[in-house]
Chain A
Amino acid sequence: MTKLNTFRSGVDETGHFGIYGGRFVAETLMPLILDVEKAWEEARHDDDFWAEFDYLMKHYVGRPSPLYFAERLTEHFGGAKVYFKRDELNHTGAHKINNTIGQILLARRMGKKRIIAETGAGQHGVATATVCALFGIPCVVYMGETDVERQKPNVFRMRLLGAEIVPVTAGTGTLKDAMNEALRDWVANVEDTFYIIGTAAGPHPYPAMVRDFQCVIGNETREQMQEMEGRLPDTLVAAIGGGSNAIGLFHPFLDDDSVNIIGVEAAGHGIESGEHCASLNGGRPGVLHGNRTYLLQDEDGQIKDGYSISAGLDYPGIGPEHAWLRDIGRVEYVSATDVEALEAFKLCTAKEGIIPALEPCHALAYVGKIAPKLPKDHLIVMNMCGRGDKDIFAVAERFGFEM
């Protein structure tokens, strides 16, 4: 492993994490991307900006989210102590709101009058529509046509919140196409529009900015673990699609050598099946959506669709900081299949009375593999980044339950 003085210096001045990241966008957008970067540089050094962010985190989102000792699961696994960082208890039911609050504060600061976003499962769309309602700013959400059909409850939620939903039929009509379409909208409406990207990916400064908003997860965990156990955790585990919940948990611990960090990708039907969305374990570096990162693609550089039972992980790329952390070896990236995630879903529901989203079920599946082999004083924190209400239809179908 390359030994750096710090893994937390973040992005370099050209917007790269090692060779990853960057600003691979059309010239029409480039001046705007530079504006966002400048506005973000100013905002992140402004105490008033963070004071408003913190206020909304506490009183609107409901932070800090608890760090919960999952005692029955710990007993069940018979090894390490398992803690959940309970971001599923946030307003709107996932970690996504941490980021949308941050970005809408920046959009307002920049004087933007219209918000656009992409969404896959609809969680980021709901979180964006929510903050747009809160701030009274019009919102347009791009969503793949197949997802609009699959995620009707979230589509209805977004409409109730006042957002306009645009079903995307271009390309293959999935999350990556929704992101293409949002970028096309942005190119056509550069003057008044701000694009709230849902994960720690896209052109610089988005990956670093989204991470900084999500770091609230890791910063709280650090403090809470200190209170509960008087020390740092030994292992962190989080699910990775684009990777924003994971980087939020991981980043504050990157320089703590004693903390073992593991990201869990969605292996779908298994990496060898080719039907998965494990960009790090089953893809290779390429350039898409404004950044260089690991991508699912064919030998000609055409992007392939990801597959997972969890729509929130179903993206053919990953945030560029994860690509860098993988290459330098600071974080270990593994994967869990649909079947393993569903088993974890059942287990968590039965043992803890928590119905988890399918995304963190991938992380829990991996916890279930390592916890039994670890000593009883080993502390694992898993990010319970979303609740499962949105997934009950998909799960019912798998379990053969008529809804």
Chain B
Amino acid sequence: MSKQPETRITRRFRKLQEEGRPGFITFTTAGDPDLETSVKILDGLAEAGADLIEIGVPFSDPMADGPAIQASSLRAIKGGMSLRKTLAIVADYRKKDDETPIVLMGYYNPIYIYGVDAFLADAKKAGVDGLIVVDLPPEEEGELCLPALDAGINFIYLTAPTTTDARLPRVLEHASGFVYFVSITGITGTRSAVTADVAGHVGRIRAKTDLPVAVGFGIRTPEQAAEIASVADAAVVGSALVDQITANLDDNGKPGPGTVDAVLGLVRSLAEGVHGARKTEKAS
């Protein structure tokens, strides 16, 4: 295992472990459905029970995402959201909350165009703790992963059901913060995994790393979240929250007055599900 930058992420997972409970991670897209609403949602997430916040950086061509997150990305871009503005949102958020870890999730091109060194410096300064970049597998680790670790930012790797035991050490070599297990072979928000299968895969990963394992893709209800959280260190919910935003848009694509409450209400019930789940003993 290589460098392990100490961040809000590592501190938060230590705390969760001390408290003996699994974590709940939310995903929403920066600027979706508009800047104001997305910031209001962001401001309420921690209070509603999010232990860690993933902010999606909108990209025009999100290859690994299903229709819900694609549409949220396009709404945000249409409203003028960009990587630079996403960093500004994080910097503003940090004036209010300096504890909750923030992970930016997205695709490489906006970062590449921003410039890797400038981006890492600005992200660190804004208060970003970790990065999930879907289209940067370990084969391209020189692009961003290694520079991010040098800059003191966790680079979180995705593992999938297709990641074999033989390949896992390669993926985990420079993993830091936590490991994100993609519970289905598919795109976000399309289908749900069988908990027993997830438990098996999480076990495979835990046998090869001490990093916490979060599970995402396809978790939609408090019940599912609780089930998954019982076999992992954290559960991630994204598409279901984005669907809640979509459901509150009027015919002109403007958010209705109840949007923020509706999203945070769902966050609250999902968080209760996760936090009510008993954590099983670690296999190791």
Contacts and interface: CB of A to CB of B under 8 A. Distances in A.
A184 B63 contact: yes
A350 interface: no
A24 B64 contact: no
A184 B83 CA distance: 24
A394 interface: no
Contacts of A189: 185
Task: Assign chain A's interface to a size class.
Answer: 35 or more
A25 interface: yes
Interface of B: 59-64, 66-67, 70, 74, 77, 82-84, 107-114, 134-137, 139-140, 157-164, 167, 171, 182, 185-187, 190
A24 B140 contact: yes
A24 B110 contact: no
A303 B109 contact: yes
A329 interface: no
B187 A187 contact: yes
Interface stretch (A55-63, A217-225, A294-302, A363-371): A294-302
Contacts of A289: 61, 63
Given A171-B60, A288-B61, A301-B114, A27 B70 contact: no
Interface of A: 14-15, 22-32, 170-171, 176-177, 180, 183-184, 187-191, 285-290, 292, 295, 297, 299-303
Contacts of B108: 24, 287
Contact of A184 (B64, B74, B160): B64
B162 A190 contact: yes
Contacts of B67: 170
B187 A184 contact: yes
A30 B137 contact: yes
Nearest to B166: A31
A171 B74 contact: yes
Max chain B Cβ within 10 angstroms of own Cβ: one of A31, A287, A289, A300: A300
A299 B113 CA distance: 7
Contact of B70 (A25, A171, A292, A301): A171
Contacts of A171: 60-61, 70, 74
Contacts of A25: 63, 135, 137
Contacts of B112: 285-287, 292, 301
A212 B59 CA distance: 33
